Structure 1
Amino acid sequence: TEDAPIELAINDESVSAELHYNFFPEQEGEEWKTVKFKNDGEKMTAFLPNQPMAGKLMYYISINYGGKIVELEKDAPIVIRFKGAVPNSVLYPHIFFMFFSMLLANVAGLFAIAKIPRYKLYTYLTFIFLILGGLILGPLVQKYAFGDLWTGIPFGWDLTDNKTLFGFIFWLIAVIGNLKKDRPYLTIIAAIAVLIIFSIPHSMYGSELNRGSGEVTQGFISFFNLLR
């Protein structure tokens, strides 16, 4: 991980700004730290200090313009999570296989609804792509980013891993159920289930550094914090 730059699209030399941050989750007695933004003539930049993998900080910004101070997100600070660098050779294939597993899942579901025989082919392809992207490359991404291969059931409650696990189970049932007999309803159920599962932002309950133990556990981030 490295220091995280926070940028403001402000080049007015008469404007000053400060970045206020603290650890997340906040512990009693911890004081907020302040860093001044620097203006390079094009934008203003301040840096949040580097944290261990899965460490989190929360921050808000105060802007001083002509003696008038405006505080941004003070009542609901923005939460940032630090991660290790994931090699492109691992990340890009992971994204590719996960994206196409979702695409193929939709095709399989629609073909099953229409009772097009090729739904079985797309059921198998979805399962293969999900294994490659979610169960092989997914843990590698997790390892590079947060230090652990798997933090879902039975080792933890990481939402990303558990979503992949449940998606795998639904498609495993669909594949086995369609091997010797046409059961399009199983593919339809799997397609709908995965669509719902992967509509949940996985970072809502993801890896979080426990500063007391130094271990990576799981922590909740509000859906509204993820939107910002």
Structure 2
Amino acid sequence: MTRTSRGFGLIELLIALALSLVVILGVAQIFIAAKNTYVSQNTAAGMQEDARFVLSKMIQEVRMVGMFGCLGTIKDAISGSVFLDGESAISWDNANQKLTLVTADVGGSGGTPTWTVECGSSVTGPGTAYRGDRPTAAGQIAFPIRRLVYSFSNNQLLMGVGTGTPVQQVLVNNVSAFDVSFGVVGSAANLSYSSNPPDMKSIRSVRLTLTLTDPNKRVRNQTYNVVVALRNRLP
């Protein structure tokens, strides 16, 4: 065989194929890693958006806890007794994982209120709380008040509006933990947190902790914490 007609041998071809396979596998690994990174980042972003939606909503409502409109005494239109003392405005049932808030209707777009508080012509005077929605008469100042019940059950965070045990609607799925603690002022004016404070009137802030999980295990559990100061000191 002449020099000009010589080609590649079998060993050379095998070496070339092996090197090509290594390069292809390396490129494939890069694409797989890039895809996995994109999927995990997209999943984490979705979990963060869910947490942001829920916690932003709860922050607004916690800030308005105890804001019933009238600065004077408010009487219940049906029973004639005092309408909801401060200790009834916020509570946390740690055993059943339920947070109850009685708050002014943020933005006035929360649907039918649980109560409507009328303060007459001045917020400094006494008021009357009526069940449900109530048309405001001329010269009257009215505030829609809602009772919200948040609960954690079956890896879901739910919310209901109304008295008693309202019907719960799902706010977010894939919740692995939900916890509430209260910042209370002690005798030395130091703020400490407790899930079961002895005196609800000493509450100055609320800490909300929400942990979301990915059912497909693409990312680790994500825990989000916020601390909300009460705007209205409980009476």
Query: Fold conserved (TM > 0.5)?
Result: no
Give 1 or 2: higher strand fraction. 2
Structure number, greater radius of gyration: 2
